[in-house]
């Protein structure tokens, strides 16, 4: 897939593309930054190394997994993953994970990654994308709903975070295949 470019809300250029091994350090650092915020991901300590990221990126070039990266004016801004469900009977479903660095939120990076992910998912024969987010993440919920994702459930007090329990919101979208 060729890189895709969109104009951000503030006029900068957002480029999305499939990750390559040279992106591993940025993906590792970006994931660590978002985990350290303690607000958006249900993990308290990142444990993957840069080499783990290189391995994951290389694997995506030979399987159905997708790992996209976004840059704004050439600077790493975030990334998105799609992974097939583990059950044989649900291989048509991709699980989505996304992070956007704080300096690049609310300008369209998440939307650009999500749109590119839907295109990549269809090319890999996925028929549905599922995701989850914290109930407190109103920015993400708004983005997902604006792209046609619907809430299909909630898990009350699902995550025990440093600031207390957080509900998980489950969402999905059927893709036009």
What digits encode the pLDDT tens for the residues 48-92? 899 999 999 999 999 999 999 999 999 999 999 999 999 999 999
Give the mean pLDDT of the chain: 94
CA distance 27 to 43: 16
pLDDT at position 112, please? 98
Model confidence band, residue 13 (pLDDT cutoffs 50, 70, 90): very high
Model confidence band, residue 43 (pLDDT cutoffs 50, 70, 90): confident
pLDDT at position 40, please? 80
User: How distant, in Å, are the alpha carbons of 43, 108, 147 from that of 77?
Assistant: 20, 11, 20
- Sorted by where each starts, the structural domains of the chain and their CATH numbers stand as 4-131 (3.40.630.30)
Lowest mean pLDDT among 13-27, 34-48, 71-85, 160-174: 34-48
pLDDT at position 162, please? 85
CA distance 24 to 28: 6
Q: pTM for the complete prediction? A: 0.93
pLDDT at position 135, please? 92
Work out whether the CA dihedral 132, 137, 138, 143 comes out positive or negative.
negative
């Amino acid at each position: 897939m060729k890189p895709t470019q969109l104009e951000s809300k503030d006029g900068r250029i957002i480029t999305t593309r499939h990750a390559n091994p040279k992106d591993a350090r940025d993906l590792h650092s970006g994931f660590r930054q978002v985990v350290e915020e303690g607000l958006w991901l249900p993990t308290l300590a990142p444990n993957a190394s840069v080499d783990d990221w290189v391995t994951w990126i290389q694997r995506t070039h030979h399987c159905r997994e997708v790992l996209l990266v976004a840059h704004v004016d050439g600077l790493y801004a975030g990334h998105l993953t799609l992974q097939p469900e583990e059950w044989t009977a649900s291989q048509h479903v991709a699980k989505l994970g996304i992070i956007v660095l704080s300096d690049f939120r609310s300008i369209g990076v998440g939307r650009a990654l999500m749109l590119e992910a839907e295109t990549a998912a269809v090319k890999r024969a996925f028929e549905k994308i599922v995701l989850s987010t914290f109930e407190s993440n109103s920015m993400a919920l708004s983005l997902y709903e604006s792209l046609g994702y619907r809430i299909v459930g909630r898990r009350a007090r699902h995550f025990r975070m440093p600031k207390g329990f957080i509900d998980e919101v489950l969402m999905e979208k059927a893709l036009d295949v």
